[in-house]
Amino acid sequence: MTSKHVSSAKVIEGTLIISLPDALTPVVWQMELGQTKASALEVRNNDNGTSSLVLKTPRQDIEEVAIFNDRNVALKALMLISKAMEKSEGQLKSGNFGAFDKVTQAEKSSGFFKFLFKFVGIVMGIVVTVFILLTVVGFLLSGGKGGESASVADKNTPVSAEDFLEGR
């Protein structure tokens, strides 16, 4: 095999796929863009004259993707990745692929149920408050007699309307 292999990069369904056959150790590498918050790919010069394509994460982790003999070849690979990501613009927003879409749907239904539980809790709180207020107002209006009926006499004894209304 005397043909020269060339690096390539593309985004398929939200996953960045990089093929780097011209690296010192050829590699095919992938990264789910929907799961990535704010990572950066960069080319770094190594002490031994080689250059590395590395991934930096928000937690300051550095993952080496590939090592190249020539810095220009590493830069070319970086530019291929950049172009592939530019072409994929909108794939993440559409939500048409796998895990990213499932997470979004789970968050949406979780938010709905949180709203529903809050709403039911508020309504129940209002109902209990109104019940307590009506009970207290009824107690105060009855003159603080609580469960006593309007008649102090036996239940079988006739009572005049005036005595009944005055609570005698």
Q: Give the three-class secondary structure for 55.
A: strand
Q: pTM here?
A: 0.50
**What is the DSSP annotation of 103-115?**
HHHHHHHHHHHHH
3: left (phi over 0), alpha (psi -120 to 50) or beta: beta
Q: pLDDT of the chain along its 168 residues, tens only?
A: 445 778 888 888 888 888 999 889 899 988 887 766 678 888 989 999 999 998 888 787 888 889 999 899 889 988 988 888 888 766 654 444 444 444 455 556 667 778 888 888 899 999 999 999 998 888 888 776 655 554 444 567 788 888 878 876
- Residues facing 54 on adjacent strands: 42, 64
Q: For CA atoms 105, 111, 114, 118, give the dihedral sign.
A: negative
In the sheet where 27-32 sits, what is the strand order?
8-12, 15-20, 27-32
Query: Rounded to whole angstroms, how far apart are CA atoms 12 and 79?
Result: 18
pLDDT given for residue 8 in this prediction:
87
Give the residue ranges of DSSP H helices in the chain. 71-87, 91-94, 98-141, 161-166
Upper half-sphere CA count for residue 108 (Cβ side, 13 Å): 6
Give CB contacts under 8 A, 24+ apart, made by 42-48: 42/78, 43/71, 43/74, 43/75, 43/78, 45/71
